[in-house]
Amino acid sequence: MYKLYLSDGSIFADSAPLHSKWNQAPVLPVEKMIYIFGNNRIELSGFEAYNHLVERTFRFMGTRSVERPTAIRLCVKAGTKTICLKCNTETQIVTREEFEYGTEDNGNPVLGWKAGVIKTPEIKITKLI
């Protein structure tokens, strides 16, 4: 589950991140994003822009394909860099990746960026009990 805290004081929550409603969030600057992944609470704030991506694999079974989410990537823009926290849905491990902005998808840009409220950028990951 993730929550976007928006510049007008409202909160957009999505409880099904593997079938994200990211593109349905209001078009307002994001103050912070909080994401609960396994036993981790991830808080991102102060960045220029935010994105939420779901990585999937497809397996063919006969004549139909079966979709399986493999990771969720929480991305933020910091100057010319993109920082992504990759949350592996199979191992429940969170890793950090950095890219030049516009090269997040195997050298290509991704869509869906939401403007942020620029302050002191912070990434906090805390373990939940």
> Structurally, how many domains does the chain consist of?
1
| pLDDT for the residue numbered 29 | 98
pLDDT > 80? residue 37: yes
Least confident of 2-6, 13-17, 96-100: 13-17
pTM of the predicted protein model = 0.91
Residue numbers of the domain that contains 58? 2-127
pLDDT at 1 over 90: no
Q: Give the closest residue to 18 by CA, choosing from 59, 72, 88, 61.
A: 72
Q: Which residues contact 77 (CB under 8 A, 6 or more apart)?
A: 47, 48, 49, 50, 101, 113, 116
The answer on pLDDT for 129 being more than 80 is: no
CB 77 within 8 A of CB 24: no
Encode pLDDT of 80-112 as tens digits. 999 999 999 999 999 999 999 999 999 999 999
Residues 38-84: tens digit of each pLDDT? 899 999 999 999 999 999 888 787 888 888 889 999 999 999 999 99
17 has a pLDDT exceeding 70 = no
Q: Are strands 49-61 and 64-78 parallel, antiparallel or unpaired?
A: antiparallel
